[in-house]
A and B are shown apart, each in its own frame.
Chain A
Amino acid sequence: GENVEQHPSTLSVQEGDSAVIKCTYSDSASNYFPWYKQELGKGPQLIIDIRSNVGEKKDQRIAVTLNKTAKHFSLHITETQPEDSAVYFCAASVTGGFKTIFGAGTRLFVKA
């Protein structure tokens, strides 16, 4: 069945450093890849997404890259701040489908 693998499970960085989270998906039909940030006690909040017709997308300090051939996609956060500390989930779905498959999550700690 469909699966999304996410690494690392925990990531600790110093404030100002970059953080990279990597995901791999199994369903070659997947063409939409959102990233969600989940803070304690809250629901997942969309922070950025990418569609399969582009290889990279950037929004201020956040960027995502997609390698369709390798079925890899990554989240890059630059100049990390303590408020970036949260659990980050990658996900994959098929536009026109309904099910979104989530990765297991990465707990990011940004130390001041």
Chain B
Amino acid sequence: DTAVSQTPKYLVTQMGNDKSIKCEQNLGHDTMYWYKQDSKKFLKIMFSYNNKELIINETVPNRFSPKSPDKAHLNLHINSLELGDSAVYFCASSQGQRTDTDTQYFGPGTRLTVL
């Protein structure tokens, strides 16, 4: 029944490792997003996809690579993890890309801790 789900909920790993976070939405939405929330609760958009096409690509290190196998899924792969990557990563989805009519629904978040 969960609208936007993410796995895993918690991820603890060593510096230098490669990890992936998965996101799935069952709302039938066309647009999906990845956000990063740091320890000060600052929430910043990283990427957005519309129907598997990359729309928003903020200034994010190229160690971060999103992949959208279909419009219901948007995964985030992170290479060579660094301490500064520790944060909560939220996936979100919306029907379309319009911010005036298309509410974004957030997943429960993945807390990534890099040791």
Is this pair of chains taken from one and the same complex?
A: no
